Structure 1
Amino acid sequence: MVSAMSATPGTPLTRALRGPSPAPRTAPIDAFRLARKWFLDGRRVDMQQLAAELGVSRATLYRWCGSRELLIGEVIWSINERLLHETRTKARGSGRALITRVLDRSLARIRDFEALRQFVAEDAEYALRIITSKQSVVQARLIEWTADFLREEVGLRDDIDLADLAYVIVRVCESFVWSDMITGAPPATDKAVKIVDLLIAAAER
């Protein structure tokens, strides 16, 4: 069985982002907000420069965030989560049709998001390690989000594990969204959605 959150680290930043609403000047949140602004502006998230602008040491910044990869992962997940939420809020329908409709629109929006495109284009190997590896907070959160969506919208056969299905769906989506960086093939989010539809149909009661 695949644990959706097995890769999620327990850094002070992660706990602040996923816990109760932090105080306005909680320092790990300040680091996240500034890193997110830089990322959206197309600026490299350099930990030394980030620490200097925040007025803290690099050691403190790393203690808050764990690593540069984890910090950027939190930033990327915040972007993906907003796009997924917006798309799901606007979508109509229910069940498998709703899931595939939301994925179809969300994957295209994620792929076309300029800051993400620029980040992946600058160093594809490094970017994909942050976005798609098993240590990635992005992948872990997306598996969790997918599992929750499946749980709410479809009934699965008794022999189908929810977390495993969510994991497979996420891996399929990653493979087609970033296929140009992985295999050299053009991105094909429509193919990902078709395969996901088949997977869910086969897993439904």
Structure 2
Amino acid sequence: MDVLAGELAISRATLYRAVGSRDGLLGEVFWTIAQFLITEAAGRTTSAGPDRVIDISRTFAQRLERAEQLRRFMATEPEAAARILFTAAAEVKHRSIEAQARIFRDSGIEGDPDDLRRRAALYVRTLEGVLYGPLLGSGPIAFESAEPALRALLDG
């Protein structure tokens, strides 16, 4: 935060008033990157229905795996990464669930809005095991291993 405040030529107090907290700022950064990767992944698939959802998730996972800065951050600051990615504090969790529900709807997955949101929450939690397995203490999990569970959530 000191370096960022200096780069912006503002005081730390002004920076904290603007962003709230370091976790909040990092959450915004992570979410901005995630939105870009989701949009990119959605634009690469020609599938429809459950296959489209799986294709977007697979491409997103592949792109995120290559994000060296994120991997480095998770390795050097695992507690902060967990707070930002998995708790309500930085809103990444809620935004991820809402984005997944939109992907469901855009892919033709139908259902009661509350049911779709619950399924999206379970889908996101399952996908997090693939994306952040080492951070969650489960070690690396291949996308192919989680795919049957992800597909099951798409069938309603």
TM-score of the superposed pair, with normalisation by structure 1: 0.70
Higher helix proportion (structure 1 or 2): 2
Task: Answer whether contact 1:96 1:153 (CA < 8 A) is retained.
Answer: yes
User: Aligned residue for 1:106?
Assistant: 60
Runs of 4+ in structure 1 over 6 Å off = none
**How many Å separate the matches in 1 of 2:126 and 2:134?**
14
Partner of 1:49 in structure 2? 3
Instruction: Output aligned runs, 1:147-186, within 5 Å.
Output: 147-158=101-112, 161-186=115-140
> Is the counterpart of residue 120 in structure 1 residue 110 in structure 2?
no
Question: Shift of residue 194 of structure 1?
Answer: 2.6
**Structure 2 unmatched ranges of 5 or more:** none
| TM-score, length basis structure 2 | 0.90
The answer to whether the 8 Å contact 1:100/1:193 transfers is yes
**Equivalent in the alignment of 2:25:** 71
Q: Which has the higher contact order (CA 8 A, sep 6+)?
A: 1
CA distance in 1, matches of 2:113, 2:7: 52
Superposition RMSD in Å: 1.8
Deviation of the 1:132 alpha carbon: 1.9
Aligned length: 156
Q: Distance in 1 between matches of 2:103 and 2:62?
A: 18
> Identity of counterpart residues, as a percentage?
33
Secondary structure of the equivalent of 1:139?
Answer: helix
